[in-house]
Structure 1
Amino acid sequence: MRKAGQLAAQLLDHLAPLVQPGVSTLELNDEAERWTQAHGAISAPLGYPGASGVADFPKSICTSVNQVICHGIPNAKEILKDGDIINIDVTPILDGYHGDTSRTFLVGDPSPLARRLVAVTEECLERGIAAVQPGGRVGDIGAAIQEYAEEQGFSVVQDFVGHGVHRTFHAEPQIPHYGTRGKGKKLRAGMVFTIEPMINEGTHEVELWDDGWTAVTKDGKLSAQFEHTLAVTKTGVDVLTRSPVAVVV
Protein backbone atom coordinates (compact mmCIF):
# COMPACT_ATOMS: atom_id res chain seq x y z
CA MET A 1 0.00 0.00 0.00
CA ARG A 2 2.85 2.38 0.76
CA LYS A 3 4.42 1.80 -2.68
CA ALA A 4 1.09 2.41 -4.41
CA GLY A 5 0.48 5.49 -2.28
CA GLN A 6 3.85 6.98 -3.06
CA LEU A 7 3.34 6.36 -6.77
CA ALA A 8 0.02 8.24 -6.57
CA ALA A 9 1.73 11.16 -4.82
CA GLN A 10 4.48 11.22 -7.45
CA LEU A 11 1.86 11.26 -10.21
CA LEU A 12 0.29 14.42 -8.76
CA ASP A 13 3.76 15.94 -8.40
CA HIS A 14 4.36 15.15 -12.08
CA LEU A 15 1.08 16.72 -13.21
CA ALA A 16 1.40 19.86 -11.07
CA PRO A 17 3.58 21.90 -13.52
CA LEU A 18 1.14 21.10 -16.32
CA VAL A 19 -1.78 22.80 -14.56
CA GLN A 20 -1.69 26.05 -16.51
CA PRO A 21 -4.15 28.29 -18.40
CA GLY A 22 -4.72 26.94 -21.90
CA VAL A 23 -4.24 23.27 -20.98
CA SER A 24 -7.21 20.94 -21.48
CA THR A 25 -8.29 18.45 -18.86
CA LEU A 26 -7.91 15.75 -21.52
CA GLU A 27 -4.22 16.64 -21.86
CA LEU A 28 -3.82 16.15 -18.11
CA ASN A 29 -5.60 12.80 -18.35
CA ASP A 30 -3.51 11.57 -21.26
CA GLU A 31 -0.24 12.49 -19.57
CA ALA A 32 -1.38 10.82 -16.35
CA GLU A 33 -2.18 7.62 -18.26
CA ARG A 34 1.17 7.67 -20.09
CA TRP A 35 3.11 8.23 -16.87
CA THR A 36 1.16 5.58 -14.96
CA GLN A 37 1.83 2.93 -17.58
CA ALA A 38 5.50 3.93 -17.77
CA HIS A 39 5.77 3.19 -14.05
CA GLY A 40 4.31 -0.29 -14.28
CA ALA A 41 0.86 0.58 -12.96
CA ILE A 42 -2.69 0.87 -14.28
CA SER A 43 -5.36 3.50 -13.66
CA ALA A 44 -8.18 2.36 -11.39
CA PRO A 45 -10.75 4.97 -12.57
CA LEU A 46 -10.49 3.88 -16.23
CA GLY A 47 -13.45 1.60 -16.86
CA TYR A 48 -14.67 1.77 -13.26
CA PRO A 49 -18.26 0.46 -13.26
CA GLY A 50 -21.02 3.04 -13.23
CA ALA A 51 -24.31 2.74 -11.39
CA SER A 52 -27.25 1.02 -13.04
CA GLY A 53 -27.80 2.60 -16.43
CA VAL A 54 -24.59 4.67 -16.25
CA ALA A 55 -21.62 4.01 -18.53
CA ASP A 56 -18.30 2.96 -16.98
CA PHE A 57 -15.96 5.85 -16.13
CA PRO A 58 -14.23 6.67 -19.43
CA LYS A 59 -10.95 8.29 -18.32
CA SER A 60 -7.92 7.62 -16.15
CA ILE A 61 -8.24 10.49 -13.66
CA CYS A 62 -10.96 12.79 -12.35
CA THR A 63 -10.63 16.50 -13.10
CA SER A 64 -13.08 18.65 -11.14
CA VAL A 65 -13.00 22.34 -12.07
CA ASN A 66 -14.55 25.19 -10.05
CA GLN A 67 -18.14 24.18 -9.18
CA VAL A 68 -17.48 20.48 -9.88
CA ILE A 69 -17.28 18.69 -6.54
CA CYS A 70 -15.91 15.35 -7.75
CA HIS A 71 -15.78 12.81 -10.59
CA GLY A 72 -15.33 15.37 -13.35
CA ILE A 73 -14.58 13.65 -16.67
CA PRO A 74 -11.56 15.00 -18.60
CA ASN A 75 -12.35 16.23 -22.10
CA ALA A 76 -10.72 18.16 -24.93
CA LYS A 77 -13.18 21.06 -24.80
CA GLU A 78 -12.57 21.86 -21.13
CA ILE A 79 -9.67 24.33 -21.24
CA LEU A 80 -8.26 25.67 -17.98
CA LYS A 81 -8.53 29.43 -17.57
CA ASP A 82 -6.69 31.90 -15.39
CA GLY A 83 -8.48 32.04 -12.04
CA ASP A 84 -9.82 28.46 -12.09
CA ILE A 85 -9.30 25.89 -9.39
CA ILE A 86 -9.07 22.20 -10.29
CA ASN A 87 -9.06 19.04 -8.21
CA ILE A 88 -7.11 16.19 -9.75
CA ASP A 89 -7.93 12.77 -8.28
CA VAL A 90 -5.65 9.85 -9.17
CA THR A 91 -5.66 6.17 -8.23
CA PRO A 92 -2.92 4.06 -9.77
CA ILE A 93 -2.94 0.32 -9.06
CA LEU A 94 0.55 -1.04 -8.38
CA ASP A 95 1.06 -4.76 -7.77
CA GLY A 96 -2.67 -5.08 -7.09
CA TYR A 97 -2.88 -2.30 -4.50
CA HIS A 98 -4.60 1.09 -4.90
CA GLY A 99 -3.00 4.44 -4.09
CA ASP A 100 -5.80 7.03 -3.87
CA THR A 101 -5.08 10.75 -3.49
CA SER A 102 -6.15 14.15 -4.79
CA ARG A 103 -5.20 17.81 -4.57
CA THR A 104 -6.84 21.05 -5.63
CA PHE A 105 -4.55 23.23 -7.72
CA LEU A 106 -4.71 26.96 -8.44
CA VAL A 107 -4.73 27.92 -12.12
CA GLY A 108 -3.01 31.24 -12.65
CA ASP A 109 -4.27 33.83 -10.17
CA PRO A 110 -7.61 32.83 -8.57
CA SER A 111 -9.63 35.19 -6.41
CA PRO A 112 -8.83 35.61 -2.70
CA LEU A 113 -12.03 33.68 -1.90
CA ALA A 114 -10.99 30.76 -4.09
CA ARG A 115 -7.53 30.73 -2.50
CA ARG A 116 -9.04 30.75 0.99
CA LEU A 117 -11.43 27.92 0.14
CA VAL A 118 -8.55 25.79 -1.13
CA ALA A 119 -6.41 26.55 1.92
CA VAL A 120 -9.26 25.79 4.32
CA THR A 121 -10.00 22.52 2.53
CA GLU A 122 -6.39 21.38 2.84
CA GLU A 123 -6.43 22.29 6.52
CA CYS A 124 -9.66 20.30 6.91
CA LEU A 125 -7.85 17.22 5.61
CA GLU A 126 -4.95 17.77 8.01
CA ARG A 127 -7.32 18.18 10.96
CA GLY A 128 -9.13 15.00 9.96
CA ILE A 129 -5.84 13.11 9.82
CA ALA A 130 -4.80 14.50 13.21
CA ALA A 131 -8.00 13.06 14.73
CA VAL A 132 -7.04 9.50 13.75
CA GLN A 133 -5.75 7.29 16.55
CA PRO A 134 -6.30 3.66 17.57
CA GLY A 135 -9.30 3.45 19.89
CA GLY A 136 -10.79 6.64 18.46
CA ARG A 137 -13.99 6.80 16.45
CA VAL A 138 -14.84 7.62 12.86
CA GLY A 139 -16.99 10.48 14.16
CA ASP A 140 -13.88 12.15 15.57
CA ILE A 141 -12.59 12.62 12.02
CA GLY A 142 -15.79 14.09 10.64
CA ALA A 143 -16.27 16.39 13.62
CA ALA A 144 -12.77 17.85 13.29
CA ILE A 145 -13.36 18.60 9.61
CA GLN A 146 -16.90 19.93 9.96
CA GLU A 147 -16.12 22.20 12.91
CA TYR A 148 -13.25 23.92 11.12
CA ALA A 149 -14.99 24.23 7.73
CA GLU A 150 -18.11 25.76 9.24
CA GLU A 151 -16.08 28.11 11.48
CA GLN A 152 -14.57 29.44 8.25
CA GLY A 153 -17.99 30.00 6.69
CA PHE A 154 -17.93 27.02 4.31
CA SER A 155 -19.96 23.80 4.13
CA VAL A 156 -19.07 20.10 4.03
CA VAL A 157 -20.40 17.86 1.26
CA GLN A 158 -22.31 14.97 2.84
CA ASP A 159 -23.18 12.94 -0.27
CA PHE A 160 -19.64 11.58 -0.72
CA VAL A 161 -17.36 10.08 1.93
CA GLY A 162 -13.92 8.57 2.44
CA HIS A 163 -13.61 4.81 2.25
CA GLY A 164 -11.52 1.76 2.97
CA VAL A 165 -9.03 0.97 0.22
CA HIS A 166 -6.53 -1.84 -0.41
CA ARG A 167 -6.77 -4.41 -3.21
CA THR A 168 -10.34 -3.16 -3.55
CA PHE A 169 -10.88 0.45 -4.67
CA HIS A 170 -13.87 1.20 -2.40
CA ALA A 171 -14.41 -0.82 0.77
CA GLU A 172 -15.49 -0.43 4.37
CA PRO A 173 -15.27 1.58 6.52
CA GLN A 174 -17.03 4.66 5.24
CA ILE A 175 -15.44 7.88 6.53
CA PRO A 176 -17.93 10.80 6.55
CA HIS A 177 -16.44 14.29 6.68
CA TYR A 178 -19.03 15.43 9.20
CA GLY A 179 -20.13 13.85 12.46
CA THR A 180 -20.01 13.72 16.24
CA ARG A 181 -16.97 13.00 18.38
CA GLY A 182 -17.09 9.62 20.10
CA LYS A 183 -19.58 8.20 17.61
CA GLY A 184 -19.18 5.72 14.76
CA LYS A 185 -16.94 2.73 14.10
CA LYS A 186 -13.94 2.31 16.39
CA LEU A 187 -10.56 2.82 14.74
CA ARG A 188 -7.97 0.08 15.18
CA ALA A 189 -4.40 -0.48 14.03
CA GLY A 190 -4.23 -1.97 10.55
CA MET A 191 -7.21 -0.10 9.10
CA VAL A 192 -6.43 1.63 5.79
CA PHE A 193 -8.81 4.24 4.39
CA THR A 194 -9.06 7.62 2.68
CA ILE A 195 -10.00 10.97 4.13
CA GLU A 196 -11.11 13.27 1.29
CA PRO A 197 -13.17 16.28 2.43
CA MET A 198 -15.07 18.19 -0.22
CA ILE A 199 -15.69 21.73 1.01
CA ASN A 200 -18.10 24.11 -0.71
CA GLU A 201 -18.15 27.88 -0.85
CA GLY A 202 -21.94 27.89 -0.45
CA THR A 203 -24.49 25.18 0.24
CA HIS A 204 -23.41 21.58 0.78
CA GLU A 205 -26.12 20.40 -1.61
CA VAL A 206 -25.13 18.44 -4.70
CA GLU A 207 -26.51 17.95 -8.21
CA LEU A 208 -25.50 15.20 -10.64
CA TRP A 209 -25.04 15.84 -14.34
CA ASP A 210 -26.69 13.65 -16.95
CA ASP A 211 -23.44 11.72 -17.49
CA GLY A 212 -24.14 10.02 -14.17
CA TRP A 213 -20.70 10.89 -12.77
CA THR A 214 -20.08 14.63 -12.55
CA ALA A 215 -21.23 16.03 -9.19
CA VAL A 216 -21.57 19.83 -8.93
CA THR A 217 -22.61 22.34 -6.30
CA LYS A 218 -26.34 23.00 -6.44
CA ASP A 219 -25.79 26.76 -6.20
CA GLY A 220 -23.00 26.87 -8.79
CA LYS A 221 -20.42 28.11 -6.29
CA LEU A 222 -16.88 26.78 -5.88
CA SER A 223 -15.87 23.45 -4.35
CA ALA A 224 -12.42 22.16 -3.35
CA GLN A 225 -11.09 18.79 -2.21
CA PHE A 226 -7.93 17.17 -0.86
CA GLU A 227 -7.45 13.45 -0.23
CA HIS A 228 -4.94 11.11 1.37
CA THR A 229 -4.83 7.37 1.90
CA LEU A 230 -3.67 6.52 5.42
CA ALA A 231 -3.12 3.60 7.76
CA VAL A 232 -4.02 3.50 11.44
CA THR A 233 -0.97 2.36 13.43
CA LYS A 234 -0.52 1.22 17.02
CA THR A 235 0.58 4.74 17.96
CA GLY A 236 -1.34 6.97 15.55
CA VAL A 237 -1.49 7.30 11.79
CA ASP A 238 0.77 6.81 8.76
CA VAL A 239 -0.14 8.90 5.68
CA LEU A 240 0.69 6.69 2.70
CA THR A 241 0.14 9.27 -0.06
CA ARG A 242 1.99 12.25 1.39
CA SER A 243 4.57 13.63 -1.03
CA PRO A 244 7.93 14.81 0.31
CA VAL A 245 7.95 17.52 -2.35
CA ALA A 246 4.29 18.62 -2.34
CA VAL A 247 3.92 22.38 -2.02
CA VAL A 248 1.13 23.77 0.15
CA VAL A 249 -1.00 26.17 -1.90
Structure 2
Amino acid sequence: MGERRQRQRRVRGVEIKGAAEIEIMRQAARIVATVLKEIGERVEPGMTTADLDAYAEERIRAMGATPSFKGYHGFPASICACLNHEVVHGIPRRRQVVRAGDLLKVDTGAYYQGFHGDSCITIAVGAISPAAQRLMAAAEAALYAGIAQVKPGNTLLDLAGAIEDCVQGYGYSIVEDYTGHGVGRNLHEPPSVFNFRTRQLPNVTLQAGMTLAIEPIVNAGSKHTRTLKDRWTVVTVDKALSAQFEHTVLVTESGHEILSDRTLV
Protein backbone atom coordinates (compact mmCIF):
# COMPACT_ATOMS: atom_id res chain seq x y z
CA MET A 1 0.00 0.00 0.00
CA GLY A 2 2.80 2.43 0.91
CA GLU A 3 4.62 1.74 -2.36
CA ARG A 4 1.42 2.24 -4.36
CA ARG A 5 0.81 5.62 -2.74
CA GLN A 6 4.30 6.76 -3.70
CA ARG A 7 3.48 6.04 -7.36
CA GLN A 8 0.34 8.15 -7.41
CA ARG A 9 0.49 10.80 -10.10
CA ARG A 10 -0.26 14.32 -8.93
CA VAL A 11 -0.45 17.67 -10.70
CA ARG A 12 -0.13 20.70 -8.38
CA GLY A 13 -1.18 18.44 -5.51
CA VAL A 14 -4.23 17.08 -7.36
CA GLU A 15 -4.31 13.31 -7.76
CA ILE A 16 -4.82 11.90 -11.26
CA LYS A 17 -6.89 8.73 -10.99
CA GLY A 18 -6.27 5.68 -13.11
CA ALA A 19 -8.89 3.49 -14.79
CA ALA A 20 -9.33 1.09 -11.85
CA GLU A 21 -9.67 3.94 -9.36
CA ILE A 22 -12.15 5.75 -11.56
CA GLU A 23 -14.32 2.65 -11.79
CA ILE A 24 -14.47 2.43 -8.00
CA MET A 25 -15.38 6.11 -7.84
CA ARG A 26 -18.20 5.46 -10.32
CA GLN A 27 -19.58 2.89 -7.91
CA ALA A 28 -19.22 5.20 -4.88
CA ALA A 29 -20.90 8.08 -6.68
CA ARG A 30 -23.64 5.79 -8.00
CA ILE A 31 -24.47 4.80 -4.43
CA VAL A 32 -24.78 8.48 -3.51
CA ALA A 33 -26.91 9.18 -6.57
CA THR A 34 -29.22 6.28 -5.72
CA VAL A 35 -29.71 7.44 -2.13
CA LEU A 36 -30.42 11.04 -3.14
CA LYS A 37 -32.86 9.96 -5.85
CA GLU A 38 -34.72 7.78 -3.36
CA ILE A 39 -34.83 10.53 -0.74
CA GLY A 40 -36.12 12.99 -3.33
CA GLU A 41 -38.93 10.58 -4.18
CA ARG A 42 -39.91 9.76 -0.60
CA VAL A 43 -39.77 13.16 1.15
CA GLU A 44 -43.17 14.36 2.28
CA PRO A 45 -44.49 16.85 4.82
CA GLY A 46 -44.43 15.53 8.37
CA MET A 47 -41.16 13.62 8.06
CA THR A 48 -38.20 14.73 10.13
CA THR A 49 -34.68 15.29 8.91
CA ALA A 50 -33.62 12.57 11.36
CA ASP A 51 -35.93 10.16 9.50
CA LEU A 52 -34.14 11.00 6.26
CA ASP A 53 -30.74 10.58 7.88
CA ALA A 54 -31.62 7.12 9.19
CA TYR A 55 -32.89 6.09 5.77
CA ALA A 56 -29.73 7.35 4.03
CA GLU A 57 -27.41 5.52 6.40
CA GLU A 58 -29.34 2.28 6.04
CA ARG A 59 -29.29 2.46 2.24
CA ILE A 60 -25.60 3.42 2.00
CA ARG A 61 -24.62 0.47 4.19
CA ALA A 62 -26.96 -1.89 2.34
CA MET A 63 -25.07 -1.12 -0.87
CA GLY A 64 -21.75 -2.07 0.69
CA ALA A 65 -20.45 1.40 1.54
CA THR A 66 -20.15 3.50 4.67
CA PRO A 67 -21.43 7.07 5.15
CA SER A 68 -18.62 9.51 4.34
CA PHE A 69 -20.00 12.24 6.57
CA LYS A 70 -20.68 10.34 9.78
CA GLY A 71 -17.85 11.05 12.21
CA TYR A 72 -16.05 13.34 9.74
CA HIS A 73 -14.41 15.94 12.00
CA GLY A 74 -17.06 14.90 14.53
CA PHE A 75 -20.13 15.41 12.34
CA PRO A 76 -22.87 13.25 13.92
CA ALA A 77 -24.93 12.17 10.90
CA SER A 78 -24.86 10.58 7.44
CA ILE A 79 -26.47 13.51 5.63
CA CYS A 80 -26.40 17.26 5.91
CA ALA A 81 -30.01 18.47 5.93
CA CYS A 82 -30.73 22.19 5.50
CA LEU A 83 -34.14 23.85 5.36
CA ASN A 84 -34.88 27.17 3.67
CA HIS A 85 -32.38 29.75 4.98
CA GLU A 86 -30.00 27.07 6.26
CA VAL A 87 -27.05 27.01 3.88
CA VAL A 88 -24.84 24.00 4.56
CA HIS A 89 -23.79 21.42 7.20
CA GLY A 90 -27.22 21.19 8.82
CA ILE A 91 -27.43 18.47 11.47
CA PRO A 92 -30.54 16.25 11.06
CA ARG A 93 -32.82 16.43 14.09
CA ARG A 94 -35.75 14.44 15.44
CA ARG A 95 -37.68 17.65 16.07
CA GLN A 96 -36.93 19.23 12.69
CA VAL A 97 -40.11 18.53 10.72
CA VAL A 98 -40.23 18.99 6.96
CA ARG A 99 -43.26 21.04 5.91
CA ALA A 100 -45.01 21.76 2.63
CA GLY A 101 -43.41 24.76 0.92
CA ASP A 102 -39.93 24.07 2.31
CA LEU A 103 -36.72 24.05 0.31
CA LEU A 104 -34.77 21.07 1.61
CA LYS A 105 -31.09 20.58 0.82
CA VAL A 106 -29.75 17.05 1.29
CA ASP A 107 -26.01 16.44 0.93
CA THR A 108 -24.44 13.02 1.42
CA GLY A 109 -21.39 10.93 0.63
CA ALA A 110 -20.48 7.25 0.40
CA TYR A 111 -17.09 5.64 1.04
CA TYR A 112 -16.67 2.53 -1.08
CA GLN A 113 -13.52 0.41 -1.45
CA GLY A 114 -11.25 3.30 -0.54
CA PHE A 115 -12.92 6.14 -2.45
CA HIS A 116 -15.66 8.70 -1.81
CA GLY A 117 -18.61 9.96 -3.85
CA ASP A 118 -20.30 13.23 -2.88
CA SER A 119 -23.46 14.97 -4.09
CA CYS A 120 -26.21 17.36 -2.99
CA ILE A 121 -29.73 18.13 -4.18
CA THR A 122 -32.32 20.74 -3.30
CA ILE A 123 -35.82 19.31 -2.97
CA ALA A 124 -39.09 21.20 -3.29
CA VAL A 125 -41.35 19.85 -0.56
CA GLY A 126 -44.87 19.97 -1.97
CA ALA A 127 -45.85 23.23 -3.64
CA ILE A 128 -43.22 25.92 -3.16
CA SER A 129 -43.36 29.64 -3.92
CA PRO A 130 -42.40 31.00 -7.37
CA ALA A 131 -39.45 32.74 -5.71
CA ALA A 132 -38.22 29.46 -4.25
CA GLN A 133 -38.69 27.72 -7.61
CA ARG A 134 -36.61 30.37 -9.35
CA LEU A 135 -33.81 30.16 -6.78
CA MET A 136 -33.74 26.39 -7.05
CA ALA A 137 -33.58 26.60 -10.85
CA ALA A 138 -30.73 29.11 -10.65
CA ALA A 139 -28.64 26.89 -8.37
CA GLU A 140 -29.08 23.89 -10.65
CA ALA A 141 -28.35 25.96 -13.76
CA ALA A 142 -25.19 27.30 -12.12
CA LEU A 143 -23.98 23.77 -11.38
CA TYR A 144 -24.41 22.69 -14.99
CA ALA A 145 -22.87 25.92 -16.30
CA GLY A 146 -19.77 25.05 -14.30
CA ILE A 147 -19.77 21.40 -15.35
CA ALA A 148 -19.95 22.47 -19.00
CA GLN A 149 -16.51 24.05 -18.57
CA VAL A 150 -14.92 20.84 -17.28
CA LYS A 151 -12.49 19.53 -19.90
CA PRO A 152 -8.73 19.13 -20.23
CA GLY A 153 -6.96 22.44 -20.72
CA ASN A 154 -9.62 24.55 -19.08
CA THR A 155 -8.96 26.00 -15.64
CA LEU A 156 -10.86 26.34 -12.41
CA LEU A 157 -11.35 30.02 -13.25
CA ASP A 158 -13.19 29.00 -16.42
CA LEU A 159 -15.53 26.90 -14.29
CA ALA A 160 -15.89 29.58 -11.61
CA GLY A 161 -16.58 32.35 -14.09
CA ALA A 162 -19.36 30.36 -15.75
CA ILE A 163 -21.00 29.72 -12.38
CA GLU A 164 -20.66 33.34 -11.28
CA ASP A 165 -22.07 34.70 -14.53
CA CYS A 166 -25.04 32.35 -14.33
CA VAL A 167 -25.88 33.29 -10.75
CA GLN A 168 -25.46 37.02 -11.37
CA GLY A 169 -27.71 36.70 -14.39
CA TYR A 170 -30.48 35.58 -12.06
CA GLY A 171 -29.73 38.43 -9.65
CA TYR A 172 -28.64 36.18 -6.79
CA SER A 173 -25.43 35.87 -4.77
CA ILE A 174 -22.84 33.08 -4.49
CA VAL A 175 -21.72 31.96 -1.06
CA GLU A 176 -17.95 32.49 -1.03
CA ASP A 177 -17.20 31.03 2.40
CA TYR A 178 -17.67 27.45 1.15
CA THR A 179 -16.36 25.97 -2.09
CA GLY A 180 -16.30 22.69 -3.93
CA HIS A 181 -13.26 20.45 -3.71
CA GLY A 182 -11.38 17.53 -5.08
CA VAL A 183 -12.77 14.18 -4.01
CA GLY A 184 -11.36 10.65 -4.10
CA ARG A 185 -9.37 8.83 -1.45
CA ASN A 186 -10.37 11.70 0.85
CA LEU A 187 -13.74 13.36 1.10
CA HIS A 188 -12.03 16.74 0.73
CA GLU A 189 -8.75 16.96 -1.13
CA PRO A 190 -7.07 19.45 -3.50
CA PRO A 191 -8.07 21.51 -5.38
CA SER A 192 -10.52 24.03 -3.95
CA VAL A 193 -13.22 24.29 -6.63
CA PHE A 194 -14.37 27.89 -6.27
CA ASN A 195 -17.62 29.30 -7.65
CA PHE A 196 -16.55 32.91 -8.23
CA ARG A 197 -13.65 34.68 -9.88
CA THR A 198 -10.72 35.02 -7.51
CA ARG A 199 -6.95 35.17 -7.52
CA GLN A 200 -6.75 34.05 -3.90
CA LEU A 201 -7.00 30.31 -4.70
CA PRO A 202 -4.81 28.19 -7.02
CA ASN A 203 -6.09 28.26 -10.61
CA VAL A 204 -5.44 24.64 -11.54
CA THR A 205 -5.49 23.56 -15.20
CA LEU A 206 -7.76 20.54 -15.55
CA GLN A 207 -6.37 17.20 -16.71
CA ALA A 208 -8.02 13.87 -17.47
CA GLY A 209 -8.30 11.73 -14.34
CA MET A 210 -9.07 14.59 -11.94
CA THR A 211 -12.25 14.16 -9.91
CA LEU A 212 -14.05 17.22 -8.58
CA ALA A 213 -17.02 17.90 -6.33
CA ILE A 214 -18.60 20.99 -7.89
CA GLU A 215 -21.16 22.66 -5.60
CA PRO A 216 -22.37 26.23 -6.05
CA ILE A 217 -24.42 27.53 -3.11
CA VAL A 218 -26.80 30.30 -4.16
CA ASN A 219 -28.53 32.77 -1.85
CA ALA A 220 -31.57 34.85 -2.69
CA GLY A 221 -30.17 37.71 -0.60
CA SER A 222 -26.76 38.41 0.91
CA LYS A 223 -23.81 36.11 0.23
CA HIS A 224 -22.84 36.33 3.90
CA THR A 225 -23.45 33.51 6.37
CA ARG A 226 -23.07 32.68 10.04
CA THR A 227 -22.68 29.44 11.98
CA LEU A 228 -25.17 28.48 14.69
CA LYS A 229 -24.30 27.44 18.23
CA ASP A 230 -24.19 23.77 17.24
CA ARG A 231 -20.94 24.75 15.43
CA TRP A 232 -22.09 23.05 12.24
CA THR A 233 -25.29 24.51 10.80
CA VAL A 234 -24.63 27.54 8.58
CA VAL A 235 -27.44 30.01 7.82
CA THR A 236 -27.87 33.16 5.74
CA VAL A 237 -27.35 36.31 7.80
CA ASP A 238 -30.53 37.89 6.42
CA LYS A 239 -32.65 34.69 6.63
CA ALA A 240 -33.08 34.69 2.86
CA LEU A 241 -33.51 31.36 1.09
CA SER A 242 -30.51 29.32 -0.04
CA ALA A 243 -30.24 26.50 -2.61
CA GLN A 244 -27.47 24.11 -3.58
CA PHE A 245 -26.71 21.36 -6.08
CA GLU A 246 -23.53 19.28 -6.26
CA HIS A 247 -22.09 16.52 -8.44
CA THR A 248 -18.95 14.44 -8.40
CA VAL A 249 -17.43 15.01 -11.85
CA LEU A 250 -14.59 13.24 -13.65
CA VAL A 251 -12.38 15.07 -16.15
CA THR A 252 -12.13 12.78 -19.19
CA GLU A 253 -9.86 12.89 -22.24
CA SER A 254 -12.59 14.62 -24.25
CA GLY A 255 -14.57 16.50 -21.59
CA HIS A 256 -16.27 15.25 -18.46
CA GLU A 257 -18.44 12.55 -16.92
CA ILE A 258 -20.95 13.22 -14.13
CA LEU A 259 -20.31 10.28 -11.82
CA SER A 260 -23.23 11.10 -9.49
CA ASP A 261 -25.79 11.44 -12.30
CA ARG A 262 -29.17 10.50 -10.77
CA THR A 263 -30.71 9.86 -14.19
CA LEU A 264 -28.52 6.78 -14.56
CA VAL A 265 -29.74 4.98 -11.42
Q: TM bucket by the smaller chain?
A: over 0.9
Higher share of residues assigned helix: 2
User: Superposition pairs for residues 90-169 of structure 1, below 5 Å?
Assistant: 90-169=108-187
Partner of 2:206: 187
Secondary structure (helix, strand or coil) at the match of 1:244 reads: helix
Q: In structure 1, what is the Cα distance between the partners aligned to 2:40 and 2:187?
A: 24
The structural deviation recorded for 1:18 is 2.1
Partner of 2:14: none
Unaligned runs of 5+ in 2: 1-24
Which letter does structure 1 place at the counterpart of 2:31?
Answer: L
Q: In structure 1, what is the Cα distance between the partners aligned to 2:150 and 2:217?
A: 18
Partner of 2:52: 28
- Distance of aligned partners of 1:191 and 1:245 in 2 relative to their CA distance in 1, 3 Å threshold: closer
The structural deviation recorded for 1:245 is 5.6
Partner of 2:96: 78
Q: Confirm or deny that 1:89 pairs with 2:113.
A: no
The structural deviation recorded for 1:17 is 2.2
Q: Confirm or deny that 1:211 pairs with 2:230.
A: yes
Which letter does structure 1 place at the counterpart of 2:227?
Answer: L
Q: In structure 2, what is the Cα distance between the partners aligned to 1:41 and 1:245?
A: 19
The structural deviation recorded for 1:195 is 0.4
Q: Which has the larger radius of gyration?
A: 2
Q: In structure 1, what is the Cα distance between the partners aligned to 2:198 and 2:182?
A: 20
Partner of 1:53: none
- For 1:160-219, what per-residue CA distance to the aligned partner results, in whole angstroms no more than 9, with x for missing partners? 0010110111000110011169x8211111111110000000010011111111111111
Which letter does structure 2 place at the counterpart of 1:145?
Answer: I
Unaligned runs of 5+ in 1: 50-55
Partner of 1:52: none
Which letter does structure 2 place at the counterpart of 1:123?
Answer: A
Partner of 2:43: 19
- For 1:59-89, what per-residue CA distance to the aligned partner results, in whole angstroms no more than 9, with x for missing partners? 1110011001110000011001111001100
The structural deviation recorded for 1:243 is 1.6
Q: Which runs of 4+ in 1 moved over 4 A?
A: none
- For 1:66-119, what per-residue CA distance to the aligned partner results, in whole angstroms no more than 9, with x for missing partners? 001110000011001111001100101111211100100000111000001001
Secondary structure (helix, strand or coil) at the match of 1:6 reads: helix
Greater mean alpha carbon deviation, residues 15-24 or residues 215-224: 15-24
- Fraction of identical pairs, as percent: 39
Q: In structure 2, what is the Cα distance between the partners aligned to 1:2 and 1:150?
A: 32
Q: In structure 2, what is the Cα distance between the partners aligned to 1:238 and 1:17?
A: 24
The number of residues matched between the two structures is 239
Partner of 1:229: 248
TM-score by length of 1: 0.93
